[in-house]
Amino acid sequence: MKFGGTSVQDAEAMNRVINIVRRQWADNPGDRPPVVVVSAMSKVTDRLVETSRLAAEGQADQAAQIIGELLTRHLGVASTLVQGPALEELNALLTSDFRALETDVREWAAQHEVTPAASDVIQAIGELASSRIVAAAFRQQGVDAAWVDSRQVLVTDGEHSAALPDMDATAERVSAIVGSKTAAGQVPVMGGFIGATPAGVTTTLGRGGSDYSAAIFGACLDVDEIQIWTDVDGMLTADPRVVSNPLLVPELSFNEASELAYFGAKVLHPSTIVPAVARNIPVRILNSRRPEVRGTMITANGRGDGQALTALACKRSVTVIDITSTRMLMAFGFLRRLFEVFERFKTSVDVVTTSEVSVSVTVDNTRRLEDILSNLRNFAEVSTERDMAIVCIVGENLRSDPTLFSRAVTSLNTVPLRLVSQAASRRNITFVMRDADVTTAMNLLHDQFFGAKVGA
Ligand code: ASP
Ligand code: MG
C-alpha cells in the first residue's frame, strides 16, 4: 500500500492512512500484514530541491532556514499523532536527522558545491521523516508497525537522482528485512523514492519515484496487489475539463495505461510499475480521501467490464505538416530523408499518415518548425496548419471488433476530420481535427461509447 505526498500531507491525512490500512487488514484477517510505502509529505521534496540549489549557490543561511521550517512542520505533525515516550523518541530522531543534514548542507554551501550524491542525501530526508512519523503513529494507535530504512533494502546502481534497482540484491534484502517483519505479524513502514548502492551511498529513483519503490517491493514480495493511494478516484474515461460526465475506468491493461499516459492522462507513470506488471501483479489506483471508491486496476492484459472502449484522450494545439512530392512516387528512401529532417531538429512526430505522393505528420513542439520546413522544402512542397488537435480512442477491443471504428467515425459526423490513423497495435485510433472542434468531438465520442452507462 503506497501513499503519495498528498495522502500523508498532514496529521489528518496520516490518520486516514492508518484507518485505511487497519480496515483493509481487518477485512482480510488471514492475509499477510500489508507493507506500507510512503512519499515525503506534500511539497517537501520541492523544498529540498530548493535547498540543494541554495546550497550550491553558497546561500547557507537560506538553505538552513528551509531545513528548519521542514523540521518544525514534521515535529508539529508528530506531536499531533504520537504521545509520551514514543513522541520523545520520534522527536529526537527527527531533530537529529534534520540537524545533521543542516551541518552537511552548510558545509556544501561553503564549498559552493552540491554533488548529485549530496543532492540525493538532501532529498532522502523527506521520505525518511514521513515514514518514521507514520510508523510511530501506527504504533500509537495500536497497530504493530515497524519502521524499515529503505536505504538498507532497495539496492541500486550509483546513478544519482535516477538510480535503477538491482532486483536480485533487493529481493534478498526484502525477504530478509521486510519479510521477517511481516512473518512476525508486523506492518513494515518504509519510505519510497530512496535507496542506496551496495556500498551504502544514498540514492533516489527520480521524482515521483515512490510508485516505482512500491512496484519493486511488491514484485520482490510477490504480493497479491499493489495499491497506489493518491488524491483522485483513478483513471477517467476522458479529461473532465473536456467532457462533462467522465466515468471511472474500473480496469485497463498496462498498454492502454501507457497510451493514455502519453496523452497526459497520467495518475501514475506506467513505466514505474513495470516490475509489478511483469510479474502479473495488479496495480490498483485508489483515493485516500474516498477509500470506498473501487479505483482503477491496471493489469498486464486488462479485462474490461463490458465497455466497448476503455477511454478517450486528446492532445491540444498540435501542428499538422503536409509534405508532398511527386518524387515520392515509386521512390525509395523518401521517408527516411523526410524523417531525418525531424531528427536533425530533435522534434518528435506524433501521428503520421501517408498516401502515394504525400505524407502528413503532426508535431506539438514547434520550436524548430521554421528550420524543419525550410529543409523539407529542398525536396518537397510543404504546408502547415496550426491549432489542430489529436483525439484518440483507446481500447484493447479495437483489435477484435472492427465495427468500433465505424461507430466512432459515424458519431463524429459533423466534425471535419483532417487525418485518421490506426496504430499497428490496434489498441488506439487517432483522429486529427481542428482544435476548435475538440470539445464537440470528445463529447460526441463519449456519449457514443460511454453515454448509456450511469455512474462510476
Ligand atoms: N517525494 C518524491 C517526489 O516528490 C517521490 C514521490 O513522491 O514519489 O518526487
Ligand atoms: Mg509524489
pLDDT digits (tens, 9 = 90+) for 71-105: 999 999 999 999 999 999 999 999 999 999 999 99
Instruction: Please compute Rg for the chain using Cα positions.
Output: 25
> By alpha-carbon position, which residue is closest to atom 5 of ligand 1?
208
pLDDT in the model for residue 304: 65
- Report how far ligand 1's centroid is from the alpha carbon of 259 (Å): 23
Residue written as grid cell 476503455: 310
Ligand 1 atom with least separation from CA of 193: 5
- Report how far ligand 2's centroid is from the alpha carbon of 369 (Å): 34
Grid cell digits, residue 28: 482480510
Backbone angles phi, psi at 174, to 5 degrees: -60, -45
Ligand 1 atom with least separation from CA of 208: 8
Does the C-beta of 191 come closer than 6 Å to ligand 1?
no
Does the C-beta of 208 come closer than 6 Å to ligand 1?
yes
3-state SS, residue 142 = coil
Indicate if the alpha-carbon torsion angle 106, 111, 117, 120 is positive or negative.
positive
Q: Which residue out of 49, 154, 207, 229 has the highest number of ligand 1 atoms within 8 Å of its CB and is therefore the one to mutate? A: 207
- Report how far ligand 2's centroid is from the alpha carbon of 210 (Å): 7
Grid cell digits, residue 213: 519503490
Alpha helices in 141-278 (DSSP H): 167-173, 179-183, 210-221, 254-262, 274-278
> How far is 395 from 366, CA to CA, in rounded Å?
30
> How far is 422 from 171, CA to CA, in rounded Å?
41
Ligand number nearest to the C-alpha of 2 = 1
Ligand 1 atom with least separation from CA of 205: 5
Burial 408-436 (b: 16+ CB within 10 A, else e): beebbeebeebbbbeeeeebbbbbbbbbe
- Report how far ligand 1's centroid is from the alpha carbon of 44 (Å): 9
Does the C-beta of 210 come closer than 6 Å to ligand 1?
yes
> By alpha-carbon position, which residue is closest to atom 9 of ligand 1?
207
Q: Which residue out of 3, 45, 229, 231 has the highest number of ligand 1 atoms within 8 Å of its CB and is therefore the one to mutate? A: 45
Q: Which residue out of 193, 230, 288 has the highest number of ligand 1 atoms within 8 Å of its CB and is therefore the one to mutate? A: 193
> By alpha-carbon position, which residue is closest to atom 6 of ligand 1?
208
pLDDT in the model for residue 456: 40
- Report how far ligand 2's centroid is from the alpha carbon of 74 (Å): 17
Looking at residue 78, its amino acid is A
E-strand spans in 248-354? 251-253, 283-287, 296-299, 311-324, 352-354
- Report how far ligand 2's centroid is from the alpha carbon of 44 (Å): 10
Taking 70 as the pLDDT cut, the residues of the chain under it are 265, 304-305, 328-330, 424-425, 452-456
pLDDT in the model for residue 331: 72
* Contact (Cβ atoms closer than 8 angstroms) between residue 127 and residue 37: no
Query: Could you give the C-alpha distances from 75 to 4, 15, 83, 85, 347, in angstroms and in order?
Result: 20, 16, 12, 14, 48
Ligand 1 atom with least separation from CA of 210: 8
- Report how far ligand 2's centroid is from the alpha carbon of 124 (Å): 13
Phi-psi region of 426 (alpha: psi -120 to 50; beta: other; left: phi over 0): left
Does the C-beta of 192 come closer than 6 Å to ligand 1?
yes
Residues with Cβ within 5 Å of ion ligand 2? 4-5, 39
Q: Which residue out of 52, 131, 210 has the highest number of ligand 1 atoms within 8 Å of its CB and is therefore the one to mutate? A: 210
pLDDT in the model for residue 326: 80
Backbone angles phi, psi at 40, to 5 degrees: -65, 155
> How far is 207 from 419, CA to CA, in rounded Å?
36
Does the C-beta of 40 come closer than 6 Å to ligand 1?
yes
Grid cell digits, residue 32: 499477510
> How far is 447 from 444, CA to CA, in rounded Å?
5
Does the C-beta of 229 come closer than 6 Å to ligand 1?
no
- Report how far ligand 2's centroid is from the alpha carbon of 39 (Å): 6
Does the C-beta of 39 come closer than 6 Å to ligand 1?
yes
Burial group, residue 355, by CB count within 10 angstroms (0-12, 13-18, 19+): exposed
Residues with Cβ within 8 Å of residue 128, at least 6 apart in sequence? 97, 149, 191, 194
Does the C-beta of 193 come closer than 6 Å to ligand 1?
yes
Does the C-beta of 209 come closer than 6 Å to ligand 1?
yes
Helix (H) or strand (E) holding 198: none
Does the C-beta of 212 come closer than 6 Å to ligand 1?
no
